[in-house]
Amino acid sequence: MATVKLSSPATGLLAGGRTRRSAPARRATVIRAAAGSYADELVSTAKSVASPGRGILAIDESNATCGKRLSSIGLDNTEANRQAYRQLLLTTAGLGEYISGAILFEETLYQSTTDGKKFVDCLKDQNIMPGIKVDKGLVPLPGSNNESWCQGLDGLASRCAEYYKQGARFAKWRTVVSIPCGPSALAVKEAAWGLARYAAIAQDNGLVPIVEPEILLDGDHGIDRTLEVAEKVWSEVFFYLAQNNVLFEGILLKPSMVTPGAEHKEKASPETIAKYTLTMLRRRVPPAVPGIMFLSGGQSEVEATLNLNAMNQSPNPWHVSFSYARALQNSVLKTWQGRPENMDAAQKALLVRAKANSLAQLGRYTGEGESDDAKRGMFQKGYTY
């Protein structure tokens, strides 16, 4: 009777001299086939961003939106003022303890500090992955119910290749879904297909794609309606991601939390929001996805942190964390006021918010000692980036 001798834990000889590979070896081959030459790097980048106690600082506002932020503290929308504000954020000592990635606008990716150090290098020195917004914004979707679609696929491959050379290692593409406008089947399909094509192109050029179909807070609908729409949207997103051969281990998600509409008569508790949101995610998101990085979407700084904390009270199949813009920056702007003498205090304000959300990612945030300003909602009807 013939015997079979195993040559190593990873391979073995089968009858007829065929080679058998172990499950890890087969899985590695599948991953490389799905994402090409960057597969291993994509997986490593995604894991780094989705690391315990850390999340994403989103500072990818367009120049126009950044101008609105600056005007709120009496500053003109000039490149020098935008650079000064972003330098304040990106040179904050100790930020890397709580922040694993920073999403930048194209202008910021190529900027440097006043001392000549590239912002990308400031981030790398703190083990923070540089990311880049790659979409070209929302435009009206013909044939829909006053809905939008996200443009930017034309030329995306070459842009991603250039951003990778500049030091970016992940990307963001934001599209939106409006519940008061339907959403129509056309708008949902367009959002899902656009995200899937973007994700495939980003991975092909070495960038981990953040997949973000934001379900807007606008409306007076209840939380059950939000859940229904979120499940529909994410079902289509993953269908088209699979059709486009996107490597799930090399993506990150940026979903909205499942909440009632901003104009609904009753607010939901953090526990209720966590229950509904995690229900939706478990029904729709494969455990192969490494990280869920929630957007704040106009919640107050404290609301966003409390809700995240509630979702981390028990183990999840994925890293459940944050990718906040306003919910990390609001207190910083108010403290800074554009004055050099306030820079240290503003950076401390950033660390306070970053640490609070780090604790929430670990399920240890209490909300004690938060200011009234941090509890104020930031929802703006029809808000645009």
Decide if 160 is inside a domain.
yes
Write down the residue that tokens 């990311």 correspond to: 131
User: CATH number for the domain including 169?
Assistant: 3.20.20.70
pLDDT one-digit tens code per residue, 92-137: 999 999 999 999 999 999 999 999 999 999 999 999 999 999 999 9
DSSP E strands, the chain: 11-13, 19-21, 55-59, 99-104, 129-133, 138-140, 148-150, 170-177, 208-215, 252-253, 291-294, 319-324
254 is known as an active-site residue: yes
pLDDT band at residue 367 under the 50/70/90 scheme: confident
Q: Is 52 buried (19+), middle (13-18) or exposed (0-12) by CB count in 10 A?
A: exposed
Distances (CA, A) of 291 to 51, 203, 207, 348: 9, 16, 15, 27
* Residue 26's pLDDT band (cuts 50, 70, 90): low
For residue 212, indicate whether it is catalytic: yes
| pLDDT score of 73 more than 70 | yes
Spatial neighbors of 111 by CB under 8 A, at least 6 apart, are: 83, 86, 118, 119
227 in Cβ contact with 190 (< 8 Å): no
Per-residue CA distances from 250 to 155, 156, 209, 224, 240 (Å): 22, 18, 8, 31, 16
Among candidate residues 368, 226, 210, 219, the one with its CA nearest the CA of residue 294: 210
Q: Say if 176 falls within a structural domain.
A: yes
Domain count, the chain: 1
**Domain contains 11:** no
Catalytically annotated residue among 147, 254, 301, 303: 254
> DSSP code of 38?
G
Structural tokens at position 385: 């980036």
In a domain, 233, yes or no: yes
Instruction: Examine residue 373 and state whether it is found in any structural domain, yes or no.
Output: no
Question: For 270-287, how does the pLDDT look when each residue is reduced to its tens digit (9 = 90+)?
Answer: 999 999 999 999 999 999
Kindly write down the DSSP assignment for every residue of 144-179, as one continuous string. SSS-EEE---TTHHHHHHHHHHHT--EEEEEEEE-S
- Predicted pLDDT at 31: 55
Domain for residue 22, yes or no? no
pLDDT > 70: percent of the chain: 86
Supply the pLDDT for residue 297.
Answer: 78
42 vs 54: CA distance, rounded Å: 18
Residue from 86, 156, 96, 94 nearest 118 by CA: 86
Q: How confident is the model at residue 10 (pLDDT cuts 50, 70, 90)?
A: very low
Do 201 and 161 form a contact (C-beta atoms < 8 A)? no
Of 190, 212, 249, 303, catalytic: 212
Asked whether residue 344 is domain-assigned, the answer is: yes
Domain span at 235 = 38-365
Of the chain, the percentage scoring pLDDT greater than 90 comes to 82
Q: What pLDDT score does 11 carry? A: 46
Q: Is residue 1 part of a domain?
A: no
